[in-house]
């Protein structure tokens, strides 16, 4: 069986245009952007051009982009950087954020900072009212992801940001799964700090960014990497020029194809769900199908463990949960936050469609899953006791 990749939330292939843009910066143009000669100047100009491309995609300005090694580092720079700059205070987040946010805030809590974790609804949304109720006079920042990495639901960022700003609180968003897939405008939406990762939207691995919204007074962060003072002292270390060029080109391409791909992938996602429901008696969707990433589908195959399905289909790239926490055996904290039982969480599969996904691949996956899940259920005494929602 030809491999079929439906795990684009975990990572995406590098777009051919991105690869071509990066190629000369590995060999022909190899200067250090801090060097005071033509090789360094060329590299510096390339980095600045990449920042401009990325800033345009998310509605900020080139001077507000700080390149990092990955999104986890970007989140750490934002949250720990704010905490260490302030010295004390309180943070607000939700109970289905990525572990990169939750672990960092838990570490800050252990250091004496306050933390309030707001629950989300069974549909996968945080209510802005609950965020507002959690804010305190000493709240430094609120962190809410733009799109969930497992169930794809899109949060009401503008409304949350406005409530935060009314209280003088900064708003941070882990937007790794949203950048390049849905329109984002930091200025219009009021996002003060935005974290992202190149490999989530067809750019290279090994580079992320923290983007700040232009404002006065300027947001001040304590740097987490110190040394040579590159990038205005925000993140020391030589910028990886080829990767910066790559993430910039990925941003340019995403801006051009986003609208068409959203339409196409939404239709394929709906086709996959419709075929699964036509062939199987119980297929439950995790999270609302409204306000959701067009390329995301997370479903529960009641009575069947998703790990068993994946073992039977080595040619299928899909996920039983978030790839970043797949080593954990416990049920997904995201699915438990939605009210799913441990059994339902272990019966969940996540499909992430991408630019290379075809209708033929969707039909092949649907037909195979219908046959395999049906076979597993026929052998399972558990399935006979399962009832539809």
In this structure, of 20-34, 174-188, 199-213, 316-330, the range with the lowest mean pLDDT score is 316-330
CATH number at residue 264: 3.90.1150.10
Could you say which of 252, 272, 303 is where a domain stops?
252
Residue 383 resides in a domain: no
Confidence (pLDDT) at 2: 94
Q: Are residues 187 and 310 in the same domain?
A: no
Beta bridge partners of 143: 93, 172
Q: Are residues 135 and 155 in the same domain?
A: yes
What's the pLDDT tens digit per position in 117-141? 999 999 999 999 999 999 999 999 9
Beta bridge partners of 66: 210
Checking if the pLDDT of 322 tops 80, the result is no
Residue 389 resides in a domain: no
Q: Are residues 309 and 172 in the same domain?
A: no
Q: Are residues 146 and 273 in the same domain?
A: no
Confidence (pLDDT) at 216: 76
Q: Are residues 273 and 242 in the same domain?
A: no
Q: How far apart are CA 259 and CA 183, in angstroms?
A: 9
Checking if the pLDDT of 384 tops 50, the result is no
Q: How far apart are CA 255 and CA 114, in angstroms?
A: 38
What's the pLDDT tens digit per position in 33-66? 999 999 999 999 999 999 999 999 999 999 999 9
In this structure, of 150-164, 260-274, 323-337, the range with the lowest mean pLDDT score is 323-337
Q: Are residues 154 and 66 in the same domain?
A: yes
Q: Are residues 214 and 284 in the same domain?
A: no
Q: How far apart are CA 187 and CA 205, in angstroms?
A: 27
Structurally, how many domains does the chain consist of?
2
CATH number at residue 171: 3.40.640.10
Three-state secondary structure call for residue 125:
coil
Residue 287 resides in a domain: yes
Residue 387 resides in a domain: no
Q: Given the DSSP bridges, would you call strands 296-300 and 284-285 parallel, antiparallel or unpaired?
A: antiparallel
Could you say which of 226, 252, 278 is where a domain stops?
252
What's the pLDDT tens digit per position in 9-27? 999 999 999 999 999 999 9
Residue that is written with structure tokens 């797949």 in the block:
326
Checking if the pLDDT of 385 tops 70, the result is no
Report CA torsion sign: 79, 174, 23, 12: positive
Confidence (pLDDT) at 354: 98
Q: Are residues 95 and 208 in the same domain?
A: yes
Confidence (pLDDT) at 1: 82
Q: Are residues 242 and 329 in the same domain?
A: no
Residue 180 resides in a domain: yes
Could you say which of 252, 273, 306 is where a domain stops?
252
Alpha-carbon distances, residue 135 vs 80, 120, 174, 219, 290 (angstroms)? 18, 16, 19, 19, 27
CA angle 88, 90, 94 (to 5 degrees): 150
Tokens of 8: 């684009």
User: Which structural domain range is residue 132 located in?
Assistant: 16-252
Residue 94 resides in a domain: yes
Of 121, 126, 175, 171, residue with least CA distance to 147: 175
Residue 388 resides in a domain: no
Q: Are residues 181 and 285 in the same domain?
A: no
Residue 361 resides in a domain: yes
Q: Are residues 89 and 216 in the same domain?
A: yes
Confidence (pLDDT) at 230: 94
Whether 324 is a known active-site residue: answer yes
What's the pLDDT tens digit per position in 188-247? 999 999 999 999 999 999 999 999 998 878 899 999 999 999 999 999 999 999 999 999
Q: Are residues 217 and 360 in the same domain?
A: no
């Amino acid at each position: 069986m030809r491999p079929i990749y439906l795990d684009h939330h975990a990572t995406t292939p590098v777009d051919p245009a991105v690869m071509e843009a990066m190629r000369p910066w590995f060999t022909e143009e190899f200067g250090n952007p801090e060097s005071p000669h033509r090789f360094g100047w060329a590299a510096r100009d390339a980095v600045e051009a990449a920042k401009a491309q990325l800033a345009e995609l998310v509605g900020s300005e080139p001077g507000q982009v700080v390149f990092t090694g990955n999104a986890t580092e970007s989140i750490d720079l934002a949250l720990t950087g704010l905490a260490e700059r302030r010295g004390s205070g309180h943070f607000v987040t939700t109970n289905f954020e990525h572990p990169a946010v939750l672990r960092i805030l838990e570490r800050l809590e252990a250091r004496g900072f306050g933390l309030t974790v707001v629950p989300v609804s069974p549909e996968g949304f945080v209510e802005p009212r609950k965020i507002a109720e959690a804010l305190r006079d000493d709240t430094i920042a609120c962190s809410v992801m733009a799109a969930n990495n497992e169930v794809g639901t899109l949060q009401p960022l503008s409304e949350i940001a406005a409530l935060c700003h009314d209280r003088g609180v900064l708003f941070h968003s882990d937007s790794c799964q949203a950048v390049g897939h849905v329109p984002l405008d930091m200025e219009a939406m009021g996002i003060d700090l935005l974290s992202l990762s190149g490999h989530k939207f067809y750019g290279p691995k090994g580079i992320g960014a923290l983007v700040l919204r232009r404002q006065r007074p300027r947001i001040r962060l304590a740097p987490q990497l110190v040394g040579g003072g590159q990038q205005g002292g925000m993140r020391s270390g030589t910028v990886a020029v080829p990767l910066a060029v790559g993430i910039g080109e990925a941003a340019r391409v995403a801006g051009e194809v986003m609208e068409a791909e959203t339409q196409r992938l939404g239709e394929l996602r709906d086709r996959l769900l419709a075929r699964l429901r036509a062939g199987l008696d119980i297929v439950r969707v995790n999270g609302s199908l409204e306000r959701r990433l067009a390329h995301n589908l997370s479903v529960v195959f009641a009575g069947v463990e998703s790990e068993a399905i994946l073992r039977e289909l080595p040619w299928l790239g899909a996920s039983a949960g978030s790839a970043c926490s797949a080593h954990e055996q416990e049920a997904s904290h995201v699915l438990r936050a939605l009210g799913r039982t441990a059994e339902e969480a272990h019966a969940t599969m996540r499909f992430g469609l991408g630019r290379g996904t075809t209708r033929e691949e969707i039909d092949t996956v649907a037909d195979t899953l219908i046959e395999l899940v049906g076979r597993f259920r026929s052998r399972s005494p558990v399935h006979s006791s399962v009832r539809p929602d």
